[in-house]
Amino acid sequence: MRGSVPGDHGILRDLAKRYADVAVADFNTDRRELWRANNDLKRPRPPVLCSWFAGSNVYGFMLDDDLVCVDPELRSHERWLRGMLFHSQIQDDHVFEPWITVRAAVQGLDRGRDGLWGFPWKVVRDAESQAWLPTRYVKQIADLGSLAATPHVVDEVETERRVGKLHDAIGDVLEINVDRSSCYGPYDGYDLSTALGYLHGIEEFMLSIYDTPELVRGLLSFMRDSVLDNFAECETAGDWSLANHWTWGHTYNSELPDPAANALGAGMGQIFKLFHAQEFALVSPKHHWEFMLQYQQPIIEKFGLIEYGCCESLEDKIDMLRKISNLRVIAVNSWAETRKCAEQIGGDYVLSLRPNPAAVCTGFDADRIREDLGRELEACGDCSVEIVLKDIMTVQGEPARLIEWGRIAGEEAERFHTARRGG
C-alpha cells in the first residue's frame, strides 16, 4: 500500500464512488454545452459558477473538520473529493469531470530551497489576520544578476510514487489524471504581475516605474524569457495536456479541443488559459501596457484562447486589451462599472461578471443579493455573460449560504435571459 494507512483506502473509495456517480450524471453534458455556447459568443442563458473551492480560505477551513484520512497525501485527495461532493449541492453550472488529478513532481513547485526564480520562498505571516508579505529579493539593478530561471524538469520516480499511491486506493474507481505541466502558474509565474509583486514589492514597483524603470524592465524581461523557455521545454517534452485548460469559468468552446484527462502532447495553441495583472489595478493604461501587457503578450500568444482579469478593474483598459488577438473573456469585477465595461465589450468577448463576495461572506441578505445581481445583469446588455462568484474568504460557519447563492444566481440568470429574448 506504498506507505499509506489501510483505513484511508476505504474512506477514499467510498468518496470516489460517490463522486464518480456525480461526474457521469447527464447534467454535466448540458452544462458543457451551455459553457460552449457562451464561450462561442452565442448569448445563451448566462452560466453560473460558485468558485468557492479555488483561491479561497473556505475550501480548507470549511472541510477540515470532516477529514478523517491519516496519510497527508491521501488526506489532500479526500479534501478535494469532499469539496466536489459539497459543490454538487450548489446546483450551479459547474462541470464535474470524471477524473481526479495528481500533480507531478515538477521542479520549482514546492517553492522550497530553489524557488521559481532562484530564491527560497519566504513570507512573513500574521496568524490572526492571515495577512502575509513576501520577502523582497530584487531591490536594485544589481540584484537582477542573482535571478535564476527554473527549467521544466519532472522527477519521474517521485511522480510514479505519488500516482501509484492514489492508484492503490481508487485507481479502479476514478481515472487518475497526471498533471505534468509547467511549474510557472498564473499566480506566481506566467502572468508576471504577481511574480513582480513577490520579487520587487507592489508599492515598490509602482514607484520604480518612475524612479528606476530600467529595473522593472530588466526584471520583466528576465521573467518573460524564462517562462517562454520553460513552456517550450514543457511542450517539447509532451507535458502539456488538454487537462491544462484553466480559467475562472469553464473552457468549453468550439475552437479548441475539450478538456480531457491524460491527453498529453497537446500544443499550447490548443489550451485556454487565464492571465491577469491584478497588482496593476492602480496603474494607468499607458503604464500597464508599457510595464506589463507588452511583456505578457509573447506568452499569451502561445495559447489558443485566454481570459484576462482577476481582482483588478479593467473598465479603462479594454481598448488596451483589444491588442490581445486571442482574447475571449474579460473579467468585470465589483470594483468596475459594469455598464461602462459592457458598452466596450459588446459582442466581441465574454463579460465575466464577478459579484461582490461580501454579500455572502459578511452576513447573507438574499433580497440584496437578488437585487444586486439583477441590476448588474441588466447593465450587461447584449453581451455574452458568465457569472462567477469568487474570493470567498468566509461563510461564517454557514456553508448553506453558497447553496442559496447558487439558487438565486441561477434564477436571476434565467430571468435575464428570458427578458433579453423578449419573453
Contacts of 78 (CB under 8 A, 6+ apart): 8, 11, 12, 15, 67, 68, 69
Q: Is the pTM of this model over 0.85?
A: yes
Measured CA to CA, the distance from residue 285 to residue 290 in angstroms comes to 9
C-alpha cell at 373: 445581481
Q: Closest by alpha carbon to 1, among 152, 166, 130, 134?
A: 166
**Domain residues of the chain, as ranges?**
6-420
C-alpha cell at 109: 513547485
C-alpha cell at 366: 438574499
| Torsion angles phi and psi, residue 414, rounded to 5 | -65, -40
Q: Which helix (H) or strand (E) holds 270?
A: none
Task: Determine the pLDDT at residue 61.
Answer: 65
Contacts of 135 (CB under 8 A, 6+ apart): 119, 122, 123, 124
Taking 50 as the pLDDT cut, the residues of the chain under it are 1, 3
The CA-based diameter of the chain, rounded to the nearest angstrom, is 65
Measured CA to CA, the distance from residue 71 to residue 6 in angstroms comes to 10
Measured CA to CA, the distance from residue 338 to residue 353 in angstroms comes to 8
Task: Determine the pLDDT at residue 1.
Answer: 46
Measured CA to CA, the distance from residue 50 to residue 91 in angstroms comes to 9
Q: Closest by alpha carbon to 89, among 190, 14, 19, 177?
A: 19
Task: Determine the pLDDT at residue 210.
Answer: 97
Task: Determine the pLDDT at residue 409.
Answer: 98
CB 350 within 8 A of CB 39: yes
* 257 secondary structure, DSSP code: P
> Beta partners for 308?
275, 330
Task: Determine the pLDDT at residue 57.
Answer: 58
CB 214 within 8 A of CB 289: no
Instruction: Report the topology of domain 6-420.
Output: TIM Barrel (3.20.20)
Q: Give the pairing of strands 132-134 and 123-125.
A: antiparallel
> Beta partners for 144?
none
Helix (H, G, I), strand (E, B) or coil at 272: strand
Measured CA to CA, the distance from residue 159 to residue 7 in angstroms comes to 23
Task: Determine the pLDDT at residue 391.
Answer: 87
CA 21 to chain centre: 25
Task: Determine the pLDDT at residue 423.
Answer: 63
Task: Determine the pLDDT at residue 20.
Answer: 98
Task: Determine the pLDDT at residue 56.
Answer: 54
Task: Determine the pLDDT at residue 202.
Answer: 92
Measured CA to CA, the distance from residue 135 to residue 113 in angstroms comes to 14
Q: What is the DSSP string of 328-386?
A: EEEEE-TTS-HHHHHHHHTTSSEEEE---THHHHS---HHHHHHHHHHHHHHTTTSEEE
